[in-house]
Structures are given as structure tokens and as C-alpha cells.
Amino acid sequence: MQDSPCVTLALPFHYNPYNHDSDPMIQVQNLRKVFGSKVAVDDVSFTVEKGQVLGFLGPNGAGKSTSMRMVTGYFRPTAGSIKIGGIDMLEEPELAKRSIGYLPENAPLYSDMTVASFLGFCAEMRGLNGAAKAKAIDRVLDLCFLHKVRNQSVDTLSKGYRHRTCFAQSIIHDPEVLILDEPTDGLDPNQKHEIRNLIKHMGETKAIIFSTHILEEVEAACTRAMIIDRGKVVADGTPAQLKKLVPGCNTLDEVFRSITRSDLEK
């Protein structure tokens, strides 16, 4: 298969983050990650400001989760730089991570804890104690619709409630930056709608990146979308701009399939 011409197509729609007065909360430049002989992420650059929700799209194996793990400091990049709120993630990781809330794919939980005790543990890990801790727990229980199960053991929760509990821990400290990997995975349609609206609302004051395979979520919650394929950014712009990216394509789904390669192809 020949290389796709999508990089050239994407250039007219590349979002310029420097049209605003403030510096971006997330600054990623020339990010690269190599595992042995495999290049998982190849020269990826982007920025996200407060007030932006960036949908991070791509087929399986495109480098989305690897990129997000580098942005959060979980993986160290092979090359490139990452700044969170102007703080260098490689030079001052502990300080940079204070501004981040992270919901990883398949986020772990302590199954022997109740929802409230787990969130209390996460709050303490974030430096919250006493009244501040109690207030933070009540806030995320409300935001994530968890009051009904606050005293229920994690190992008895449905998949949807478990995922919402994981989401709640990512926002327990009210971070300025949110990195969310498949935040609506396992939720029913009503729960998906609630979480999308929550992300959209929080995106008014935070810088948010979330990956998803559900393209309708991009239009529902994102101010901007970036498509990554085989480790490279192939498109970046508003959902409306991306729909105009490829002649004859009228939906994000059509554009996505036109400029990316299926993981079933060799």
C-alpha cells in the first residue's frame, strides 16, 4: 500500500494555537517513541489551551495511548519535549503532574474499597485532607453521578459505575489539564451522554485531551480533533474543518476511513 497523501491534505486545516494571548497549557513538540525496532510515535507536535477539548483519534495501534502516556509522564519519550502549564515534564515531572488528571485505558481500582474510600485515598494522594478532601469527594460524586453507590464495594459495581469511579479519581483534585483515554468505554447511551456533556462543560475552563473511537463524540464534545495514523499526525482542525478535508467526504467517519489505514491491513 502506498503512503496516504493525507499529510498534505491536512495542512490547510492545521489549528494555529498561537492566535490567543496566553501560552498553551499543553505543549508537545517533536514527540517520538521507539520500542525496539518499532516506531510507535513519530514526530508528533501539538498544543492545547484552556478552553479547548481535543479529540485524539486514530485506528488501533496508531500511537494514541502511547502519546497520552508520554504527555502524562508515564512513558519517557525517545525524543521531543512536553510542557504542562509551562513546566517541563522531563525536567520537573512531579511538578508538571500536579496539574494533570489522568484516566488511563483499563484504569485500575482497589476492589476491596468502597467508592467513597477509594476516592478519599485518591484525594489524599493528591494532597487533600480534612474538609478539602470531603468537599472534593462530594463534588466528584455529584459530577459523576455516583452518590447512589458511594458506600458500595468497588468489586460489586457494574462496568459503567466502575468506569465512572475511575473518571471521578481523575478530577478529584480539580486539575487544569485532563488526559482521558476512552472515557465513555463501557457506558450505556445515557451515561455516555452525561459524560460527554461533563467533558464539554469542563472544557470551558480546562485543557482536555480525550481519545475515542466514537466519532459522534468528537462532534458532541470537542472544539478540535486530531487524527493520528502510524505514529504521525495526519489531520488537525475543528470537526467542521475536518469534514471538508477530503473531497466527496461529508462525515467525520468518511474522512477518518479515507485518510487512515485499518489495523486489519498488512
Domain parsing of the chain, residue ranges: 1-99+177-266, 107-174
Query: So what's the pLDDT on residue 220?
Result: 85
DSSP the chain: -PPPTHHHHHGGG---GGGSSSPPSEEEEEEEEEETTEEEEEEEEEEE-TTEEEEEE--TTSSHHHHHHHHTTSS--SEEEEEETTEETTTSHHHHHTTEEEE-TT----TTSBHHHHHHHHHHHTT--HHHHHHHHHHHHHHTT-GGGTTSBGGGS-HHHHHHHHHHHHTTT--SEEEEESTTTT--HHHHHHHHHHHHHHTTTSEEEEE-S-HHHHHHH-SEEEEEETTEEEEEE-HHHHHTSSTT--SHHHHHHHHS--TT--
DSSP state of 137: H
Reduced to 3 states (helix: H, G, I; strand: E, B; else coil), residue 262 is: coil
Residue 190's pLDDT is what?
87
**What's the topology of domain 1-99+177-266?**
Rossmann fold (3.40.50)
d(CA 248, CA 152): 51
Residues of the chain where predicted confidence (pLDDT) is lower than 50 = 1-21, 266
Which secondary-structure segment (H or E) carries 179? strand 177-181
Q: Which helix (H) or strand (E) holds 215?
A: helix 215-221
CA separation for the pair 4, 265 (Å, rounded): 14
pLDDT at 214: 82
Q: CA of 207: how far to CAs of 97, 177, 238, 243, 266, in Å?
A: 14, 5, 15, 23, 36
Which pLDDT value is given to residue 77? 97
- What confidence score (pLDDT) does residue 22 get? 61
Whole-model pTM?
0.86
